[in-house]
Amino acid sequence: MIGKICVFGLGHAGLPTSLSFAELGWTVVGVDYDSEKVKFIESGKSPFYEPEVDVLLQKHLANGRFVATSEAAEAVASADVVVICVGTPQLPDGGADLSFLRSATATIARHMTGYTLVVQKSTVPPGTASSVVAPILEECVPQRVQYDLAVNPEFLREGSAVYDCLHPDRLVFGVDSQRAKEVFMELYGPLLDGDQRVPSEQVGIVVTNWATAELIKQASNAFLATKISFINMLADMCDASGANVLDLARGLGSDPRINHHYLNAGLGFGGQCLPKDLRGLAAYGKGVGVDVNILESVDVVNTSRVDRILDRVVSLLGGVEERTIAIWGVAFKPGTDDVAEAPSLNLIPKLVDLGAVVRVYDPEALGAFQEASQLSDTGVYACETGLQAAEDADVLLILTDWYEFIHFDLSLLKTAMKSPVVIDGRNCMNALEMERHGFMYSGFGLPPVGI
């Protein structure tokens, strides 16, 4: 019987995972060595923006199902399941930095007191459980303590992490014992069988070995990245031929073997998962002698998207020196304040270098952008509203498809701008509505309006 769960790491994966387990009825203690982060969480606030996290955090702090601590020893000693959700940042060669994983595993191993299922949830190259985690456990766990090691990758999307935890389309269990499988089924039982949860027949449960479970995660993200770069390549072909990428995507996505997900042309993918996992899988493949040209080409297409939109801005304006450019959205996607690998971090410095004045607005990510870009005093001005950013602008660039941008009052927007030119990096606006309101509108793979 599971009594308590310990989650190591309270970042974008660990905190939603912890709170979702608490929502399922388990008692959870979250461990993070950043004491300031822990204090912030204990106050009932998430250290990052993620829908529903603050609500669940306040709820389960109040009812006692979740506590946060920077003291690992007691948390591990009292737990029956310890879930490792620490970061595995990208190294210069694209591989994963496993130092946090090694440190967390050693700490866990030293403090286990009874049978414990150690769950590796952090995203890692295949073979990490057997070559890194298992040897540490074998060396450091006291002889009298029984344990199992398992791999249980997360498939959380930033912006919907809590929903994805509580409504999974699949559960992957990498195990090497029947006991580990049984503990997993108990752990996720409330999710599968509860009357307000996901019917078990709708969840694909994959029971496999450690390496396969690890590879499933990286391969999933690499495949999604491939779909995005593929449709962006086709968007460039649409621009050259006069075809419409939205209709093209509908035609492709209607084939059930392809489906419509991740066929949205534009500035490409960013965030902490797809780029890192794509490069991590490529680095692993190279290391074992596998031809990874497909993965490398996906990355090349994606990184080239910023230059595509920059060329378009320069072409439409005849240069950007001393021009005022409004930017809507700096987060890599809506629903998050994360700017990791966001196009904004690459594009905005290039605009500044060309002499542009850049006015930026994002509903959630301005603070993270300012911290990551360090451009606050170099021609980049943070604005409190989308309208303020657009005032007297020569062109508006939409880099993130937030709901408020898609439903913005276009008459008000046109009145505010110096010239009604909009370049849509997410193809999120309605071209017919833009035309009706007198805008010059340019998307990716779309016939231009008024240009």
User: Do β-strands 324-328 and 66-69 pair in parallel, antiparallel, or remain unpaired?
Assistant: unpaired
Q: Would you say 147 and 118 are in contact if contact means Cβ atoms under 8 Å apart?
A: yes
| Strands of 10-131, DSSP E | 27-31, 66-69, 81-84, 116-120
Res 194: pLDDT: 55
**Could you tell me where in the chain the CATH 1.10.1040.10 domains are found?**
218-303
Buried b (16+ CB within 10 A) or exposed e, 100-110: bbeebbebbbe
User: Which amino acid does the sequence have at 254?
Assistant: S
- The residues annotated with a catalytic role in the active site are 273
4-208 folds as Rossmann fold (3.40.50)
Question: Regarding the domain with residue range 218-303, which homologous superfamily does it belong to in the CATH classification?
Answer: N-(1-d-carboxylethyl)-l-norvaline Dehydrogenase; domain 2 (1.10.1040.10)
pTM (two decimals)? 0.93
Report the distance separating Cα 280 and Cα 222, nearest Å.
9
Tens digits of pLDDT across the chain (451 residues): 899 999 999 999 999 999 999 999 999 999 999 999 999 999 999 999 999 999 999 999 999 999 999 999 999 999 999 999 999 999 999 999 999 999 999 999 999 999 999 999 999 999 999 999 999 999 999 999 999 999 999 999 999 999 999 999 999 999 999 999 999 999 999 888 655 455 556 778 999 999 999 999 999 999 999 999 999 999 999 999 999 999 999 999 999 999 999 999 999 999 999 999 999 999 999 999 999 999 999 999 999 999 999 999 999 999 999 999 999 999 999 999 999 999 999 999 999 999 999 999 999 999 999 999 876 567 899 999 999 999 999 999 999 999 999 999 999 999 999 999 999 999 999 999 999 999 999 999 999 998 7
Buried b (16+ CB within 10 A) or exposed e, 292-330: beebeebbebbeebbebbbebbbebbeebeebbbbbbbb
Q: Tell me the percentage of the chain whose pLDDT exceeds 70.
A: 97
Res 191: pLDDT: 86
**For the structural domain made of 305-442, what CATH number should be given?**
3.40.50.720
**Could you tell me where in the chain the CATH 3.40.50.720 domains are found?**
4-208, 305-442
Report the distance separating Cα 412 and Cα 399, nearest Å.
20
Report the distance separating Cα 126 and Cα 104, nearest Å.
19
